[in-house]
């Protein structure tokens, strides 16, 4: 068990796995039950926080004759929340978290979440903490000092929100909020962790173990992406390119010196409960899902038009596609495309001796999983087949390890070290009887 005076970011590493993996029997070693999985590390994490609200699910039981409560009962789920932030990379984190690679805009970024794909819509997340004073990335100490590692596991994680923030003078970054159904604290144990996910009765019936491989800084091909590698373009622009007789006017989208851009994807869940079950029967995504892109820019050119055309004509229904590319030099690492975007608002601001600015808000509703004319498409360099200028970069990790991927490649899940003979081989040596690992075949 670790003895620390404090915990700082030096000692942390974050991993993700599918929720239940003992159901997969395809791909390499398909003849074996996949009882053990290797966690996939999330890279470039720069903040993490979580909260467990116990009181929010309780109700006091009171009655006449006594002032204080006589008991408390839990009437709803305890839903811990986890917030993570990381620097935008090559799409590796997004695919590991269950988002889909649109592969040239034929699939929504959240298609697996829309379809409630059991292999993609939920995740388990693990936060490991190593011995005080040691870098978590010191691989030589990872296995030898595993008794000093503590791990927090979050089971049945749903992503509640995903946002990308791109600004002048700042490193492109991602922030997301996750809702879990269970939190497990392990002290002094790293080589094998039991699956923290729960069933409808609130019990951990999913079998399987998680091994956390030594973390590292990743092989994403760059330290961080930079703001001058971000480009925003308006394709099939029917809003600012209209003639004066049909346009509402404003700024010329094509020439704007953009200062910041953000993408917000809300993924709120509807909790469906049922008599006879401890946990929610289901937590489907609430529709409609309105993805918004907020752009702040200096004003340099206006376009002709009048607001009346939005009231009496069709100008208010015109759309544009917003292409947002993030490059590493000449190689595109991420591409977001908001298709069928409507202009929701324009806000102009001018101060004494200041540059005039405009804040624009665009929105598009997520369509079906394969809808291409509305929604948010995402193409990542990770695992991509050189589509739309995206340069292919393999998912990272040590050794011959296969990783979480999305879409049709979900058949390759769960993550496993290829060629393993039994779980003791994965643990790095022979383990004594009663160690909690599955027996050798």
Judge whether 305 and 240 are in contact, CB under 8 Å. no
Q: In the chain, helix, strand, coil percent, each to 5?
A: 10, 35, 50
User: Which regions in the chain score pLDDT beneath 70?
Assistant: 1-2, 21-35, 103-106, 119, 189-191, 201, 205-207, 219-221, 243-245, 313-315, 383-441
Q: Which residues of 295-330 are buried (b: 16+ CB within 10 A; e: fewer)?
A: bbbebeeebebbeebbeebebeebbbbbbbbbbbee
For residue 193, the model assigns a pLDDT of 84
pLDDT at 272: 83
CB 360 within 8 A of CB 345: yes
| pLDDT the model gives residue 189 | 66
What residue has token string 């600012």? 240
If 0-12 CB within 10 Å is exposed, 13-18 middle and 19+ buried, where does residue 267 land? buried
What was the pLDDT predicted at 147? Answer: 78
The pLDDT of residue 233 is 94
393 contacts: CB under 8 Å, gap ≥ 6: 90, 92, 220, 221, 333, 381, 382, 383, 384
Tokens standing for 123? 């995740």
Task: Tell me the pTM.
Answer: 0.84
Do residues 348 and 357 touch, judged by C-beta distance below 8 A? yes
């Amino acid at each position: 068990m670790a003895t620390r005076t404090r915990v700082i970011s030096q000692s942390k590493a974050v991993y993700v796995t599918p929720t239940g993996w003992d159901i997969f029997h395809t791909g390499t070693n398909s003849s074996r039950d996949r009882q053990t999985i290797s966690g996939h590390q999330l890279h470039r994490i720069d903040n993490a926080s979580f909260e467990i609200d116990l009181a929010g699910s309780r109700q006091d039981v009171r009655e006449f004759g006594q002032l204080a409560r006589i008991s408390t009962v839990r009437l709803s789920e305890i839903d811990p929340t986890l917030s993570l932030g990381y620097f935008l990379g090559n799409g590796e984190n997004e695919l590991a978290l269950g988002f889909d690679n649109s592969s040239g805009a034929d699939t929504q970024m959240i298609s697996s979440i829309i379809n409630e794909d059991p292999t993609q819509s939920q995740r388990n997340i693990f936060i490991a903490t190593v011995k005080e004073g040691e870098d978590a990335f010191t691989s030589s100490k990872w296995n030898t000092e595993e008794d000093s590692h503590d791990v927090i596991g979050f089971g049945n994680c749903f992503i509640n929100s995903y946002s990308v923030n791109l600004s002048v003078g700042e490193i492109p970054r991602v922030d997301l909020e996750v809702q879990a159904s269970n939190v497990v604290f392990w002290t002094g144990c790293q080589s094998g962790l039991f699956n923290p996910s729960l069933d409808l009765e609130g019990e951990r019936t999913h079998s399987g173990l998680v091994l956390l491989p030594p973390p590292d800084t990743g092989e994403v091909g760059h330290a961080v992406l930079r703001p001058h590698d971000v480009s925003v373009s308006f394709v099939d622009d029917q809003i600012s390119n209209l003639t004066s007789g049909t346009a509402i006017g404003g700024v010329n989208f094509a020439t704007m010196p953009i200062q910041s851009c953000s993408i917000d994807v809300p993924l709120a869940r509807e909790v469906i409960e049922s008599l006879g079950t401890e946990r929610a029967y289901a937590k489907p995504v609430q529709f409609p899902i309105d993805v918004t892109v907020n752009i702040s820019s200096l004003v340099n050119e206006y376009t002709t038009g009048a607001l009346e055309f939005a009231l009496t004509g069709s100008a208010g229904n015109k759309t544009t596609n917003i292409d947002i590319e993030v490059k590493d030099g000449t190689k595109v690492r991420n591409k977001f495309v908001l298709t069928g975007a409507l202009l929701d608002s324009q806000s102009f601001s001018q101060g004494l001796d200041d540059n005039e600015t405009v804040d624009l808000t665009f929105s598009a509703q997520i369509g079906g999983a394969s809808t291409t004319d509305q929604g948010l498409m995402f193409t990542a360099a990770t695992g991509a087949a050189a589509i739309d200028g995206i340069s292919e970069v393999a998912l990272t990790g040590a050794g011959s390890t296969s990783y979480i991927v999305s879409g049709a490649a979900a058949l390759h899940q769960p993550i496993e070290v290829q060629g393993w003979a039994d779980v003791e081989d994965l643990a790095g040596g022979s383990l004594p009887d009663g160690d909690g690992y599955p027996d050798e075949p």
